[in-house]
Amino acid sequence: MGVVVPLDERPVPDEAGIGPLIELVAPGMERVNAFILSRTGSDVAMIPEVANHLISSGGKRLRPMLTLATAILSGYSGDGDVKLAASVEFMHTATLLHDDVVDGSEMRRGKLAARMLWGNEASVLVGDFLLGQAFKMMVEVGSLEALRILADAAAVIAEGEVMQLAAAKNTATTEDDYLAVVRGKTAALFAAACEVGPVIADRPKAEQAAARSYGMNLGIAFQLVDDALDYGGREAKLGKKVGDDFREGKITLPVVLAYRRGSAEERAFWKRTLEDGRIEDGDLAEAIRLLAKHGAIDATLERARHYGAMARDALALFGDRPAAKALLDVVGFVTARAH
């Protein structure tokens, strides 16, 4: 799991982190994991090979855990939550397979990306297969409302990715533009994963909306912390490989802020490296220096804590049930995490 680097001097309020969530959903996650394994099966051998390469590569499975937790929070009894949780993870996996093709990424979770081993073709098609399997599982649950929410998320995720593609390498991207990308590419699935819990438990609309709001804001916080970590987080000395976003010309919030706060000369630097893609030795170090100079990483993490606070407040409706407490702790985990 790596080391958790405190991102702020103030004591982290939720040092319990992700532990209570893991404990809360452990029995369900065993079934989710078995289900995931069974639904990557195919007579076409390449499908389980490619799918399991990524699925078994040690992702945290945060999204399906959120679905199980919001179902528990809603007093759900049934097995629809397990199938929806597996669907959510399949949608996420399909997105990663396609993203790696779109970004030309070589690594994923510390292993070679599937596309490096089986090619872009297999990554595109196995992603499509997982998306099809995800929809099959959702249909089995039989909730049209949950289907609507997840189908909507699928379209919005793709829309966010296209938006990012169009915004990529464009240093004129504003913070609002970028937040729209984040809502699409990351937060929409967190929101849907959390909303379907109360939906299948037939809870009132207010609780469905609260769970959705929790997920949406948690997802935004998650992505902003990710963006900060890609430049090494606040201290740029984690063991993690930094600079992937920089090398891929991705305009993320730290860059948006540093660009806007920077001098004409500094803007020319960001244009040369990110827009024109002319990156020379030492440019990543210079980028990190500029981000630090303008407090762009701190500001990004401050923004993440803002969305984290919104996620916490959305949960207030659920009182102090143990599931609500575990979900609160996740906010602390997300805003204080390092991979």
Site residues for a second copy per CB under 8 A: 42, 44-47, 98, 101-102, 120-122, 124-126, 128-129, 131-133, 135-136, 138-140, 142, 144, 147-148, 151-159, 161-163, 165-166
Give whichever of 46 and 285 is closer to a second copy, judged by the CB atom. Answer: 46
Provide the minimum distance between the beta carbon of 137 and a second copy in the complex, in angstroms, as a whole number.
Answer: 9
Give whichever of 161 and 329 is closer to a second copy, judged by the CB atom. Answer: 161
Give whichever of 103 and 230 is closer to a second copy, judged by the CB atom. Answer: 103
Q: How many CB atoms lie within 10 A of CB 202?
A: 12
Provide the minimum distance between the beta carbon of 83 and a second copy in the complex, in angstroms, as a whole number.
Answer: 13
Provide the minimum distance between the beta carbon of 127 and a second copy in the complex, in angstroms, as a whole number.
Answer: 8
Provide the minimum distance between the beta carbon of 134 and a second copy in the complex, in angstroms, as a whole number.
Answer: 9
| Nearest of 130, 123, 125, 190 to residue 157 by alpha carbon | 190
Give whichever of 19 and 142 is closer to a second copy, judged by the CB atom. Answer: 142
> CA-CA distance, 219 to 156, in Å (whole number)?
14
Give whichever of 216 and 229 is closer to a second copy, judged by the CB atom. Answer: 216
Give whichever of 73 and 147 is closer to a second copy, judged by the CB atom. Answer: 147
Give whichever of 154 and 334 is closer to a second copy, judged by the CB atom. Answer: 154
Task: Report H helices in the chain.
Answer: 19-39, 46-55, 62-73, 80-103, 114-141, 144-167, 175-182, 188-200, 205-230, 244-247, 253-261, 264-270, 283-293, 296-315, 322-335
Provide the minimum distance between the beta carbon of 312 and a second copy in the complex, in angstroms, as a whole number.
Answer: 30
Sign for the CA dihedral angle at 329, 330, 331, 332 comes to positive
- Computed on alpha carbons and rounded to an integer, the radius of gyration of the chain in Å comes to 20
Provide the minimum distance between the beta carbon of 126 and a second copy in the complex, in angstroms, as a whole number.
Answer: 6
Provide the minimum distance between the beta carbon of 99 and a second copy in the complex, in angstroms, as a whole number.
Answer: 9
Provide the minimum distance between the beta carbon of 184 and a second copy in the complex, in angstroms, as a whole number.
Answer: 9
- Under the phi-then-psi rule, with left for phi > 0, alpha for psi from -120 to 50, and beta for the rest, what region is 16? alpha
Give whichever of 187 and 311 is closer to a second copy, judged by the CB atom. Answer: 187
> CA-CA distance, 165 to 214, in Å (whole number)?
27
- Residue 9's Cβ-side half-sphere holds a number of Cα atoms within 13 Å equal to 0
Q: With the CA atoms of 127, 193, 220 and 327 taken in that order, what torsion angle do they form, in degrees rounded to the nearest 10?
A: -140
The amino acid at 30: E
List C-alpha distances in Å: 45 to 32, 121, 179, 184: 22, 15, 40, 33
